[in-house]
Amino acid sequence: MFASFSNHETQQTCRSAGKRIGRHRSPQNLDFVHSVHKNVSMSTAYVSGRVPARYERLIARQARAARTSKSDLVARYVIEKSLETEFPGISFRDSLSGREAYLTGHRVAVWEVLAVNEETKSVEKTATHFHWSRVLVTRALAYAKAFPEEIRKSREGETDTVPVAG
Amino acid sequence: MKERPTQSRLLADENTSHRLVSACRRLLKVFPIVHIASWQDGSWLGLDDAALLISCAQAGLVLVAFDRATLPWHAGQVLRAGENHGGLVLFRRTVRSTAYGDQARLLTDFWVHEGHAWDWVNRIVYLPKSP
């Protein structure tokens, strides 16, 4: 089973990358294929890997349930899992503005921690506000610092809408 | 349950502070609010919005939270799925996260004068209320 994934905008790029891989060695003979093809204009890259067939079927089923393409779902899994590894304690969930980062095992989004910290101007006071240890706050703030645009969009998506009732 | 001094009717979500609960109790000693981190030994902290809303309905709890658009949206989804939620009290975005005294006054005033007598199933109220 050969599974490949990419942003759908880069499918043309992926196809050409696949041909390049094929010239050197058949994908069927590889246990793992990792190929990154930089596309400067779109700022996306191509990554592919082999998985046991049962996982391909599982992902296909999950993609149907989520009403998205298999490649988009796998791309999301790769991005989120790599970020969860890079930023321990951060997970992702659905929100009105798309996927949003939140503190694993808690109900608080990263943008909410940032918002409180902007009021308290102190990690210590923010930790006291949530009744958390400092490390949870610093984890959230580290993620917010690394992805300010994503956090800004999450925050705007949650707070710039009209309430459903008065 | 670690904390249940009186029959709880209000459950403070995690984006509110424990200090809101303390501030409410300073204003009204037997105010029926409990923080989610203290409720059921904190086991509800891991619930997503939809599961929390349904759990609140089953436990007869009104969820108190800061307004974020996804929560009332999930409340709508719960209704569309044929389930009930236990009611929502949402602090408007004009209320600062750390203004514990203001939050407590808004919540206790509203609850004592109106909220305690309502049927809260599937109801959403924003504080401060519209004029």
What's the start-to-end Cα distance of chain B, in Å?
38
Q: Would you say residue B5 has pLDDT above 70?
A: no
Show residues of chain A in contact with B52, CB under 8 Å.
Answer: 107
Q: Under 8 Å CB-to-CB from B48, ≥6 apart: which residues?
A: A93, B74
CATH of the domain at B111: 3.40.50
Nearest chain A alpha carbon to B46:
A105
The answer to whether the Cβ–Cβ distance between A166 and B126 falls below 8 Å is yes
| Count of domains for chain B | 1
Q: Calculate helix-pair angle for A110-120, A148-159, nearest 10 degrees.
A: 90
Of A84, A64, A68, which Cα lies nearest the Cα of A8?
A68
**Bridge partner list, B127:** B91
pLDDT at res. B68: 87
Q: What residue ranges do the domains of chain A occupy? A: 1-71, 87-166
pLDDT higher than 50, residue A18: no
Asked if residue B3 belongs to a domain, the reply is no
Tens of pLDDT along A81-98? 999 999 999 999 999 888
> CB A158 to CB B68 under 8 A?
yes
Dihedrals phi, psi of B89, to nearest 5 degrees? -115, 120
**A107 vs B13: CB contact, 8 Å cut-off?**
yes
The ipTM value here is: 0.91
Q: What is the pLDDT of residues A126-157, one digit of tens each?
A: 999 999 999 999 999 999 999 999 999 999 98
Range(s) of the domain holding residue B34: 10-127
